[in-house]
Chains A and B, each alone.
Chain A
């Protein structure tokens, strides 16, 4: 069974940093691109970042470019998102998701909440 489990969320002050992790199991991790998607409270889904199968290509939404860094460890089946210079508007549930060969997100984690507040 494919599983994606996020961790690392929490309360952080504006300007602070946080690193999210997504532990994967039940599939060949290195065969799939991965994405981070976030959802602010009561709002819709927003693309955050993506990473290629071997990590050589990374992509970011304009709103997080230069502040967030996505990476992966194919030996440990872990996806990470380093978040810096956090702002109140980064407050959201962050989901990791697997990119299927059909260019859709076919499996999602349960999400982890990041709250940026003083």
Chain B
């Protein structure tokens, strides 16, 4: 099975900050990497698919990059509604494994 490792597991940031979350796969997943946002008590929401394509309706302050084993989610200017937990997920293998999550908290 492909293992996904996110870092950091949590971070504190202020509104307007630039935030970067990294995700590493245990083997090459080409560009089959997705990002989700989850708020407490809610289902996850797809933000980015295939490394860098924004899902419809997702603000342009979100961006993704990478290939192979190393990937990044960037929020260019953090907004109040962005405080949430973010998960990466690989969809290269048959089993779509997730990273452990990164909680973005208010500083």
Contact = CB atoms under 8 A, between A and B. Distances in A.
Are A and B part of the same complex?
yes
Secondary structure call for the B interface: loop
Given A45-B44, A45-B87, A95-B43, A104 B50 contact: yes
Contacts of A95: 43-44
A106 B44 CA distance: 9
B1 A62 contact: yes
A104 B99 CA distance: 14
Size bin of chain B's contact surface: 20 to 34
B87 A105 contact: no
A35 B96 contact: yes
B32 interface: yes
A79 to B, nearest CB: 15
B55 interface: yes
Shortest beta-carbon contacts, A-B, top 8: A103-B91, A104-B49, A108-B43, A104-B34, A44-B101, A45-B98, A102-B49, A44-B100
Interface of B: 1, 32, 34, 36, 38, 42-46, 49-50, 53, 55, 87, 89, 91, 94-101
5 contacts: A37-B98, A100-B46, A104-B46, A104-B49, A105-B46
Interface of A: 35, 37, 44-47, 50, 59, 61-62, 95, 100, 102-106, 108-111
